[in-house]
Amino acid sequence: MASLPVINVSVKDLNSNSSSWAKTCDEVVRALEEYGCFIAVYDGVSSQLHDAIFAASQQVLDLPYEVKILNTSDGAGHGYFGQSPKNPGFERLTIEKATTKEGVEAFTKLMWPSGNDTFSETASTFVHAVAQLEEIVMKMVAKSYGVEQHYEPFLGSTDYILKFNKYESPKTDEPRLGLFPHTDKSFITILHQKEQGKGLEIKTKDQKWVEVDLSPSGFVFMAGDACTAWTNGRMEAPVHRVMMEGKKDRFSMVVSSYIRDLEIQAPQELVDEEHPMQYKPFEHYKYIDFHTYQNSRKLRNPLKHYCGV
């Protein structure tokens, strides 16, 4: 059975001038071109921070329903999500602009009007560590494609969303759909889960579902629709779903990135006879609005429908 590539991108083991760095670049690009994702082994999140962020997750998800629904947003998949007939047992809270002090503090004050400094500090530390993982990997991608000058402007124009996810166990060994199949509308999505186990499944190019057996030290690094467009289709956002079985709830953290103020446009270096331009330039948040308000879930390929050439 196929499995996702596992790639070591730990900071202590990589030097941009070393042969191991070049080898890792090749592995990363191959994995993203073949699967749209891979499992990153990354040392930027310590075991202590892992424990702390999931303690924080438990704390916020255990708040009363009437408090959690205060977490609202205009963005698709942001804000509080729960009690949906399509995804029974799935619950999510989100912090927007999570790498900013204002974003984290606004969310914390909403959930705990009297404050919760430990929660704020833990959430901020975690999201900054994961954002660094995205930067490391995308610099590898940009270097490999020879488009560093086109990626660098994104570094100052990226918003990060931090999501706290909970999937209730079905209390049975019969698999149950925990989250419907979809691609992410982000630029990049990075997923980290509390305990060793399966649940996340990725659809391969030959239309087979691959179970992701993710350890607590692993991070699923996944291309979103915006990355598909920016790489001119070389890195396709993978269709994925969550399947639940057994008697244990599943908890995961997700960090998603979105590009503001700049158009998503494939660099000319990635356009040639073999790879003609596939997508028109677009603004990322306008694509999110399209997904939110135009019922794009019924479309087989929302990105192509929105900005395909």
Q: Are 90 and 163 in contact (CB under 8 A)?
A: no
Residue 160 in any domain: the answer is: yes
240 forms beta bridges with 182, 202
| Residues 154-192: tens digit of each pLDDT | 999 999 999 999 998 877 777 888 788 899 999 999 999
**pLDDT at residue 296 greater than cutoff 90:** no
User: Percent of the chain having pLDDT more than 70?
Assistant: 94
Cβ atoms 255, 160 nearer than 8 A:
yes
> By 3-state DSSP, what share of the chain in percent is helix, strand and coil, each rounded to 5?
40, 25, 35
Quick check: is 1 in a domain? no
Asked whether the predicted pLDDT for residue 309 surpasses 90, the reply is yes
Spatial contact of 89 and 168, defined as CB atoms under 8 Å apart: yes
Give the integer Cα–Cα distance in Å for 63 and 65: 6
- For residue 98, tell me if it sits in a domain: yes
Q: Is residue 30 part of a domain?
A: yes
Say if CB 264 and CB 229 are below 8 A apart: yes
What integer is the mean pLDDT of 258-264? 97
pTM for the whole thing? 0.94
The tokens for 70 are 């205060």
Residue 188 in any domain: the answer is yes
Owning domain of residue 254? 6-10+19-307
Q: Which two tokens stand for residue 172?
A: 């049975």
Lowest mean pLDDT among 36-40, 226-230, 240-244, 294-298: 294-298
Q: Is 230 helix (H, G, I), strand (E, B) or coil?
A: helix
% the chain with pLDDT above 90: 73
Q: Is residue 56 part of a domain?
A: yes
3-state secondary structure of 146: coil
pLDDT digits over 55-99, tens only? 999 999 999 999 999 998 876 567 898 877 676 788 999 999 999
pLDDT above 60 for 222: yes
User: Out of 124-133, 163-172, 249-258, 291-300, which region has the weakest mean confidence (pLDDT)?
Assistant: 291-300
- Is residue 137 one of the residues assigned to a domain? yes
